[in-house]
Structure 1
Amino acid sequence: MRKDYSQRLHSEIISGVIQVSKNIYICSGFTIRKSPRNALNNRNTYLITKYAENSNNYYGRDFSLSEACNTVRRIIKHGRLISF
């Protein structure tokens, strides 16, 4: 792996993603939070939520930041999580 590529942040590689802190990203108004590795499957998970006035809405979990961003874009495009 080239050195300059490995030093970039994920948010610089994926368009439309802003890294707020070490574990929190913003993509089109949705919050994507990186969770610690799971002891059973040794993978990071990314939780997708969106803040509403009265509550937080949980939209699911993905195993990569790019998958989480694709899920957010699909929610925005179709207006719901599952598209028919």
Structure 2
Amino acid sequence: MWLFAVLIVLLMGGVAVVAAGRGTPMAEAYDDRPDALVPATGPLSADDLRRVRFPLAFRGYRMAEVDALLDRLAAEREAVEAADADGDAPRA
């Protein structure tokens, strides 16, 4: 009985040592969020807005609502781009 108790305590101590960073190190953390894929500078186009994807979080968001908003913004942007191409007065 005492032998098992000592073994369990040693095992827990070994786990604590590894978790504390001693021994074999854990793998490096990396950023697994998707890239937004929008240009950092310049105006955004409708295609830029369609490519945007937001990462999910623990207390996330309703994806359908965000997608609907992005579709609406992209349609509005296309209308502005079409008006600019036709030579109408530019809108913001």
TM-score scaled to structure 2, two decimals? 0.27
The structure in which a higher percent of residues are helix is 2
The structure in which a higher percent of residues are strand is 1
Q: Which has the higher contact order (CA 8 A, sep 6+)?
A: 2
**Greater Rg by CA:** 2
